[in-house]
Structure 1
Amino acid sequence: MDQPTIGILHPGSMGAAVAACAATNAASVLWCEAGRSTASVARATQFGLTAVTTLPELLDRSDIVISLCPPAAAEDLARDIAVHNFTGVYVEANAINPERTKRIAELLEPTATVVDGGVVGSPPVRGKSPVLYLSGPAAATSRLEALFAGTAVQATTLGREIGKASALKLSYATFQKTSRLLVALAVGMAREHGVDQELTEVASRRTESYLAEPEYVAKTAARAWRWGPELDEAADALAAAGLPPEMLRAAASTLARWDDVKDDGELTLTDALDRLARP
């Protein structure tokens, strides 16, 4: 069985957990510690990743490199990789729109084999099992399916066309993330008029309504720094398809009101709504 060496770029909460799953069927999983924060070092240590000191070393030793970083950094990171003429499989797994994914593929090919990836779901910890959707060359996507076989990450191939996985990821994010933001607005309005409890009761009569889970608003606020840029990417994808992007632009602008509570696990519903009400 193929036991490739994996390189994970910018191991955040999703990237580090996905990399740890890859370790099940890999010879080793590397990450580059140069310029990374103490939080990144702690995550990499927690998930048993092997540190290397420079990006060239990571690229020289890796057969497959997985890019999971904030959307805005995706192309700059790919440019850094392109300088070193990486010859393995590059998995562009960031939440970016299909046109950006195609630009990255053009930047890295023909030296590297580029696979489009999109992770749908929560990081694979504590029983969570996200799906890594893939599109690209068949040999490379098959290799990635084998890499994650038997792990908490379900790798599923959509086809050979670069952009398909990114499109599915952002299509899902368009509803999933915007609907949670609408909950914050609805609960905030209801609270202003003293009917927030009644709103929750009304919503509870329907199945699977996010309005029945107002406590999720605080989690939305803590993730706003990531979700805003992702919705901007989805807006670009809508515009490219001739569809109106304004709602997602507005959602991203609304999320920006929570930029100062990045990853705040102690945030309460009241705190989140109070911050949303302040420009």
Structure 2
Amino acid sequence: MKTQPVIAVLFPGDMGTQIAKALIEQNFKVITAGEGRSARTLQNIKDLGIIDTHFLQDAVDEADVILSLTSPEGSLKMAENIISCLKKSSNRPLYVDLNSNTPALASSIEKLFSLVSIPFVNGAVMGASRDVPNHAVLVVSGIYRHLFINLFASVFKIKDAGEKTEASSAYKLLFSMVNKGMNALFFETMTAAAHFGILDELNESLQAFLPGTYQDLMKTTPTYPQHIVRRIDEMNGLAEMLKDENLPNIIASGTATTFERVSKSGIFENEKPQGVVETLQNFKKLL
């Protein structure tokens, strides 16, 4: 790699923007491909001063490191598009997938890149985009993970999940089960409390007797109206992973089911709550 490696951030949405910003502040050259991206993403590119190559092929040709920041649903398609570009290029960048994939998907993507002799790092981001780079943690795994760690250890908080490629995916999913399982527990509780007409009373008691739990929920619960569908996919992915390994999966499956019922109820539609209590007040709509 060159002294000043070129980092392609694909793409600068919420998470990608914060990662790109942190890299630019540390004097990395950051590029992206703006063709076909949303007006909001294009504005992010302009505001941060990310170099826009416009076309994906040009970004792939120039990059020393490619950071894939789309979504678990879009990560395979992204990988396929990058490989298509690589087949037309002499460049061989490090490819880092930070999309919180399932272990099975991460392994599948790694196999695709091994066929074109591209070093692959599997990863996930622990924390919200606003927490990058000071509090969020980038978890990485795979035999090439040290290339990422050595390059970015001064920029991000990084956790080494080991040589097994799918390890970072399992790490993220299992960590997520704890906080998402807690939210599912509260959602199911508030569904029943609304049914019995005691939501306010129970909510006040839980807040008084479990202040630490409420403090933990402050970071996650208000995000559910916007991201509950993503949470459903994540918990279904976790349940599938556990089933494949013949491990207990009742809580993971139940968490996904609870989120599905809440999502279908429509109580979070067009809601933007500011806190835990305000979020849980939406369950009154079930009356």
Note if contact 1:17-1:47 (Cα within 8 Å) is conserved in structure 2: no
> Which 5+ residue runs of structure 2 have no aligned equivalent?
none
Separation in 2, partners of 1:146, 1:258: 47
Tell me whether 1:113 sits opposite 2:119 in the alignment: yes
Question: Greater shift after overlay, 48-57 or 241-250?
Answer: 241-250
Which residue of the partner structure matches residue 93 of structure 1?
A: 98
Note if contact 1:223-1:263 (Cα within 8 Å) is conserved in structure 2: no
Are residues 191 and 173 of structure 1, via their aligned partners in 2, closer, same or farther at CA, if it must alter by over 3 Å?
same
Are residues 182 and 50 of structure 1, via their aligned partners in 2, closer, same or farther at CA, if it must alter by over 3 Å?
farther
- Spell out the pairing of 1:71-150 with structure 2 (5 A cutoff): 71-85=72-86, 87-109=92-114, 110-125=116-131, 129-137=135-143, 140-150=144-154
- Give the % identical residues: 21
Which residue of the partner structure matches residue 254 of structure 2?
A: 247
TM-score with structure 2 setting the length: 0.82
Note if contact 1:116-1:134 (Cα within 8 Å) is conserved in structure 2: yes
Shift of 1:242: 1.3
Separation in 2, partners of 1:161, 1:46: 38
- Spell out the pairing of 1:1-279 with structure 2 (5 A cutoff): 2-25=3-26, 27-85=28-86, 87-109=92-114, 110-125=116-131, 129-137=135-143, 140-151=144-155, 153-203=156-206, 204-210=208-214, 217-243=221-247, 244=249, 246-254=253-261, 256-257=263-264, 265=272, 269=279, 272-273=282-283, 277=286
Are residues 26 and 171 of structure 1, via their aligned partners in 2, closer, same or farther at CA, if it must alter by over 3 Å?
farther
Would you say how many aligned residue pairs link Structure 1 and Structure 2?
A: 274
What's the Cα RMSD here? 3.1
AA matched with 1:189: A
Q: Deviations over 1:151-185 (max 9, x none)?
A: 3x301212222111111011111222232132223
Q: Deviations over 1:116-141 (max 9, x none)?
A: 1111111145885110011122xx43
Note if contact 2:199-2:284 (Cα within 8 Å) is conserved in structure 1: no
Separation in 2, partners of 1:164, 1:88: 22
> Which 5+ residue runs of structure 1 have no aligned equivalent?
none
Are residues 187 and 215 of structure 1, via their aligned partners in 2, closer, same or farther at CA, if it must alter by over 3 Å?
farther
SS of residue matched to 1:72? coil
Separation in 1, partners of 2:39, 2:281: 27
Q: Deviations over 1:88-140 (max 9, x none)?
A: 11111112111110100000114210001111111145885110011122xx4
SS of residue matched to 2:121? strand
AA matched with 1:142: H
SS of residue matched to 1:8? strand
Shift of 1:262: 8.0
Separation in 1, partners of 2:212, 2:227: 21
Separation in 2, partners of 1:195, 1:128: 40
Separation in 1, partners of 2:181, 2:256: 10
Separation in 2, partners of 1:90, 1:263: 37
Separation in 2, partners of 1:195, 1:60: 61
TM-score with structure 1 setting the length: 0.84
Are residues 82 and 3 of structure 1, via their aligned partners in 2, closer, same or farther at CA, if it must alter by over 3 Å?
same
Question: Greater shift after overlay, 29-38 or 172-181?
Answer: 172-181
